[in-house]
Structures are given as C-alpha cells and as structure tokens.
Amino acid sequence: MSGREDVHRALQDYQAGYREKSEGYNRLNENTASLCSEGGISSGTALELTAIWDRITVRVRAFLICGFLVFHAASVLCAADPLQPPFGLSWGDSPTRLVDWATRTKLDQTVKAPADQPRLKILLVSPAKGTLPGHDATTLEARFMDGKLFEVALHYTYPGRTSTFVRAQFAELKKILSHRHGPLQLGAKTREEPLDGVVTRSTAYQVAPAPGSNLMLVMTEVSDAKRGDQSARFSVVYHNDSVLQQEGPRVIIRRDGLDLPGKP
C-alpha cells in the first residue's frame, strides 16, 4: 500500500503545482495581450510566441511526468503479483486442466508416485518427438501435493546440439526471465567428482518475486573425457509454497485417470 500512497501523493502535489502555473500563465497571457495592444505589437511576434511555447512546454512536461508516475504505479503493483506457472496453469489447480490439455494436444502423459512420499504425485507431459506446442521446452513436469499444483518445471533438451549452443540458449532465457521477474542471483554451482571419465557440472540461478514463491533456472553439463563427448540441458522451475498451506479437497491421481475421493 505504501507504493500506491506515494504515487497518489506525488500526483496531488504535481496537480497543485500545475494549477498554480496555469493561473500564472493565464495572467501572463492577459498582460501580454494588453501590452501588445498598447504597444502596437502585432499577434505572432516573439513576445506572444514565447508565452505560447512556455504553455506548451508545461503541458508536455505534465504529460511526461504523469506518464512516469502511472508507469511507476504500475510497476509497484505488478511487483507485488505472485509468480504464475506457465501454460495458463494456476497454483492449486487439480491435475484435470493439465490432463485435458495434454489429451487435446495428443501429448504423452506419465504419472509418478514416489513410494516414500504418498501425498506427492508427479505428472510428466511431453510430445512423442520435438517440443511442446508453441514452446521450446521438451517436457513439462507438474508436481501436486494432495492433488494441488505447487510446482511446475519446464525441461529444455537439445539432442545433437553442442554444449556451447545450449549455454547460449540458457543465457538468453536468463535475460528474459530477469526482465520479467527481476535479476536472477547465483544460487549454487557444483562439480561432481569424475566417474569413469564422466564429469557433471550444475549451475543454478534463482529469484523470489513474492513471499512463498521462487523461480529457479538450472543448467547441467555432462562431459565424457574418454569418448570426447559432451551434452547439456537446463530447466526452469516455478515453485509456490503458499499453496501447500491452503485447505481444500484432496484429489487422487491414478494411472488410469483422476478421481475425487468420496465422502466418508
């Protein structure tokens, strides 16, 4: 609310100053007209044109300053918006919307149910080949706790492409996400010990646009010294903890579809 109050106060102050200047320029116009008539100065001379230009300058400045204040207000309000998941999904959704979309677009669906986390279900959606419709990601991974969406990950793989190409795509996406959600900060950088000549490196960036939500961008590179081979992939993870605090009916995800538990 402090951002709205600051913008409102600034608009009031500027409007008061603008009214005072307008009254002054009205008096200047009256005095200018009087002087012109008394001194025989014709309309359109330097004295009159100067007064007109000054009035135009005030109006232009008013327009620019008001535009800046409105833009600032919008940025303040937008900054408070929570992080939204991609593909038109909403936090707390049941799997129904994602399953319906995958069915309409003929995408493969895989359900995972970790034995050690019975409340957690993972739904993977991907095409038989290529990328997701209208997108560069190859797989969408949605996580549901008690049937409520709380995390979405988009996985980007580039078969046949070099690590240099993938790093360039990663850097470009990092710029886009930083522009949308704020600067991404380096979260972790790891390098696993070589195993049979294979070395794995991971780099993660993250930002928290709003309390309880965060966005993570992770790239993993694998190089095989023996075979002279290397590959890379990256993921964007949208996460919202606040959804887990909300109460609502539990949804059971089964491999043959969805089911809402009956009343006890």
Q: Is the pLDDT of residue 192 over 70?
A: yes
Cβ pair 212, 240 in contact under 8 A: yes
Q: Residue 146 region, left (φ>0) first, then alpha (ψ -120 to 50), else beta?
A: left
Give the number of other CB atoms < 10 A from CB of residue 139: 19
Ordered DSSP codes for 137-192: -SEEEEEEETTEEEEEEEEEE-TT--HHHHHHHHHHHHHHHHHHH-PPEEEEEEEP
The partner residues of 141 in beta bridges, in order of sequence, read: 124, 153
* Predicted local confidence at residue 58, as pLDDT: 40
Residue-wise pLDDT for 58-92, tens only, equals 443 343 334 433 333 333 334 434 589 999 999 99
| Residue tagged 């833009």 (tokens) | 71
Average pLDDT, the chain: 74
* Predicted local confidence at residue 242, as pLDDT: 86
What is the pLDDT confidence band of residue 11, given thresholds at 50, 70 and 90?
Answer: very low
- What is the CA 253 to chain-centroid distance, rounded? 29
Q: Is the pLDDT of residue 18 over 70?
A: no
Ordered DSSP codes for the chain: -HHHHHHHHHHHHHHHHHHHHHHHHHHHHHHHHHHHHHHTPPTTSHHHHHHHHHHHHHHHHHHHHHHHHHHHHHHHHHHTSPPPPSTT--TT--THHHHHHHHHTT-EEEEE--TT-TTEEEEEEE-SSS-STTSS-SEEEEEEETTEEEEEEEEEE-TT--HHHHHHHHHHHHHHHHHHH-PPEEEEEEEPPPBTTEEEEEEEEEEEEETTEEEEEEEEEEEETTTTEEEEEEEEEEEEGGGGG------EEETTEEEPPPP-
Residue-wise pLDDT for 88-104, tens only, equals 999 999 999 999 999 99
* Predicted local confidence at residue 141, as pLDDT: 98
What is the average per-residue pLDDT within 39-67?
Answer: 42
What is the pLDDT confidence band of residue 137, given thresholds at 50, 70 and 90?
Answer: very high
Q: Is the pLDDT of residue 36 over 50?
A: no
Q: Is the pLDDT of residue 159 over 80?
A: yes
Q: Using the Cα atoms of residue 238, residue 241, residue 242 and residue 244 in order, give the sign of their dihedral.
A: positive
Cβ pair 91, 240 in contact under 8 A: yes
Q: Is the pLDDT of residue 180 over 80?
A: yes
